[in-house]
Chain A
Amino acid sequence: MAERDALLSVEDLRVEFWTSRGTIHAVNGITFDIAPGETLGIVGESGCGKSVTALALMGILPRAGRVTTGSALFGDRDLIQLSDKEMRDIRGREIAMIFQDPMTSLNPVLTIGRQIREALETHFDMSKREAEDRAAELIDRVGIPSAHQRLRDYPHQFSGGMRQRAMIAMALACKPKVLIADEPTTALDVTIQAQILNLLRELVAEENAALIMITHDLGVVAGMCERVHVMYAGMFMETGTTRQLFARPRHPYTLGLLQSIPRLDAARKTRLHPIEGAPRDMLRPPAACPFQPRCRFEVEASSQEVPPLEEIERGHKVACFNPVPEDEWQNLRKQAVAP
């Protein structure tokens, strides 16, 4: 993969939430960048901070949340430092987001057309007529037939898959440079998921946009992304190209995830190997490896300091004092997967 100039580079981002139980350390210093046309995956389980990262970048954290340190350079602007007003010009126009649940993220009392037009009218000063035509074009592009009629429909008249298509149309309305998709297919059935992923792939290629794909599904990542960041307790545990990560996972957590999912192409009646224990509660900032209590590779240092994210081969970084041997997964995989 050729090195490309970063479009967005995030440096040491930290997000905290104040709650009645105390301060939640949701994101604990993550660094990544993304180039035009690139698809980047952030995978992790619920509560690992992946969605919060997206909200922080879009400047739409709930009131209890705050970015404590870090920067997110987009061109020569730092998204974290921008005022609300400046952020409003970027949001939707240059960075857009697709949310998980298309039912709750569309406004039920406005027509689909009105909701798509909103971004166009806000950012481009389009007349209603022009915006209407562009909206119809978009609806048609995301594969919904009889576009002009459909613009007059309300969200409840759309099926789940169509709503997600409409969301994508809305996100793409202003031809954004960065698209953040937060679990875009989690609420959908597999056949619809395949349709939506295909559509996203095409559109991102067409527009040369950068796509940040946030998901818990390693299968989706394997098929969509060029690079992957595995997130746990608000930190990146392992990052690398998709091929590196799936061929030679070096972090015990990544290995654990791969071992615990039942695979469609599995050999019959192999037992699953769950990761024992439960995710860490985030009330304390990590003072050691956050995965240590659940880890079978732990060493003494794991419980004493936070492992730094270090390069283990070109483009492949791991935050672990005792990385998994290089061929461990290939050996395990041979037993687990049908030849």
Chain B
Amino acid sequence: MSVDGNLLELRDLKVYFPIKSGILLDRHVGDVKAVDGVTLDVKRGETLGLVGESGCGKSTVGRAILRLYKPTGGSIVFDGQDITNLEENDLRPLRRRMQMVFQDPYASLNPRHSIGRIVGEPLRTHGLANRRQANARVRELLGIVGLPVDAASRYPHEFSGGQRQRIGLARSLALNPDFVVADEPVSALDVSIQAQIINLLENLQDEFDLTYLFIAHDLAVVRHISDRIAVMYLGWIVEISPADELYDNPLHPYTISLLSAVPIPDPEVETQRETILLAGDLPSPANPPPACRFHTRCPYVQETRCKTDVPELRKLGEGHVVACHWAEDIKAGRIQPKEITPVFDPGVVRPLEGPPPD
């Protein structure tokens, strides 16, 4: 795999969603800080895995990169060009080079359009092919993703989940992109089908020199497909590391507990290994805990620093950065996990009380 430089650079990316209240006047009462200062590079030709639990902001990062959301702050640089504030017209040529594969193959294909129309749509939108050329390209694409050619005249409901995901992939490849954001592309599929799609994604990457941002919550899948992995928690990146290193040598307490919570299909392993249980729920991103955002659930939390200082991403190994004040001590076993009282925060955002505006 050729790796030369970064295809994508995110610097302190922020995406906030405003919380509005009131019937006539939309009062701005707060923000859901879905992504709050993410700095991340994606190297050309690599697969970067982005993992985290639901609500941690991983999908928002993916969508912000494609400018489906407008960033609140920070910058997005794609192939040397700052695209943070580009206008829609200037964005369009770049959109050819960045594509997305969505999670739910049932919701992301228009049920009233034939497969040929769905897969050929990017070509038409960008005015790149006449009807004849488009049809030929669609047939070629269907072949690439392993679907029969006659699929072009059929409709989404005639296909199973795995086949629909192949259709979604064909559509994303139509414009020969460099960069594909795959947002949970296999989560909705059965295990036997999941493996087919993962293998296909790997083949396509080799064949077309693709760079992937692979967003998923399943750590085993992410480990399998990624070269490097970034772990997100509540709008932050807490750890970035080469894939193997992350699994052999996790440094952030969140990564450690996440890895220990994944069930392994092997009773021998399961009975021996110890799970570090995280207490409570993910706090609300509208009102994240101060200082280290993980301190409310961290089994290694300390009295000093965790609740007062914001941890910066620090380099603790080759390509391995971690945002934890105590990573070295945890690694060396000088800090042991202990039970903490669970805090349940249903994440319901209640608007501030106060008199209505005039």
Contacts and interface: CB of A to CB of B under 8 A. Distances in A.
A associates with B: yes
Interface of A: 45-46, 143-145, 156-162, 189-195, 197-198, 216-223, 242-243, 246-247, 256-258, 260-266, 268, 271-276, 278-279
Q: Which of A161, A217, A242, A264 gathers most chain B CB within 10 Å?
A: A264
A119 to B, nearest CB: 23
Interface stretch (B17-25, B99-107, B220-228): B220-228
B345 A159 contact: yes
Contacts of B249: none
Contacts of A247: 268
Interface pairs A-B: 10 shortest CB-CB: A219-B263, A274-B195, A262-B224, A218-B265, A260-B195, A275-B192, A189-B53, A194-B261, A45-B190, A272-B195
Interface string B194-210: 11101100100000000
Contacts of B160: 278
B348 interface: yes
B258 interface: yes
20 contacts: A46-B190, A143-B342, A145-B342, A157-B346, A159-B281, A159-B347, A162-B344, A193-B263, A216-B191, A257-B192, A262-B220, A262-B225, A264-B247, A264-B262, A265-B266, A266-B220, A268-B244, A272-B199, A276-B196, A278-B160
B258 A144 contact: no
B304 to A, nearest CB: 25
Contacts of B53: 189-192
B266 A264 contact: no
Nearest to B54: A189
Contacts of B341: 145
Contacts of A223: 263-264, 267, 270-271
Interface string B269-294: 11100010111011000000000000
B72 interface: no
Contacts of B313: none
A162 B343 CA distance: 11
A272 B225 CA distance: 10
A41 to B, nearest CB: 11
Interface string B40-57: 000000000000011000
B192 A263 contact: no
Nearest to B271: A223
B269 A265 contact: yes
Interface in B239-270: 243-244, 247, 257-270
A195 B344 CA distance: 13
A218 B344 CA distance: 29
A45 B193 CA distance: 10
A260 B196 CA distance: 8
B220 A190 contact: no
B217 interface: yes
Q: Tell me the interface secondary structure of chain B in the complex.
A: helix
A202 to B, nearest CB: 12
Contacts of B268: 243, 246-247
B144 interface: no
A217 B243 CA distance: 23
A199 to B, nearest CB: 10
Q: Which of A191, A220, A222 gathers most chain B CB within 10 Å?
A: A191
Interface in B294-349: 341-342, 344-348
B219 interface: yes
A194 B347 contact: no
Contacts of B163: 278
A242 B269 CA distance: 12
Nearest to B223: A264
Contacts of A278: 160, 162-163, 193
Given A191-B257, A221-B265, A263 B220 contact: yes
A262 B219 CA distance: 9
A217 B198 contact: no
Contacts of A145: 341-342, 344
B224 A222 contact: no
Q: Which of A161, A190, A219, A265 gathers most chain B CB within 10 Å?
A: A190
Given A260-B195, A262-B224, 13 more contacts: A145-B341, A159-B347, A191-B258, A219-B270, A222-B266, A222-B269, A243-B268, A263-B264, A264-B259, A266-B220, A272-B195, A275-B192, A278-B162
A89 to B, nearest CB: 35
Contacts of A256: 192
Contacts of A279: 190
Given A194-B277, A272-B199, A265 B194 contact: no
Nearest to B261: A194
Contacts of A160: 54
B192 A274 contact: yes
A263 B279 CA distance: 25
Contact of A274 (B193, B275, B282, B344): B193
B223 A262 contact: yes
Q: Which of B53, B198, B269 gathers most chain A CB within 10 Å?
A: B269
Contact of A260 (B192, B259, B267): B192
A190 B217 CA distance: 8
Interface string B166-195: 000000000000000000000000111111
Nearest to B53: A189
A262 B284 CA distance: 31
Nearest to A337: B266
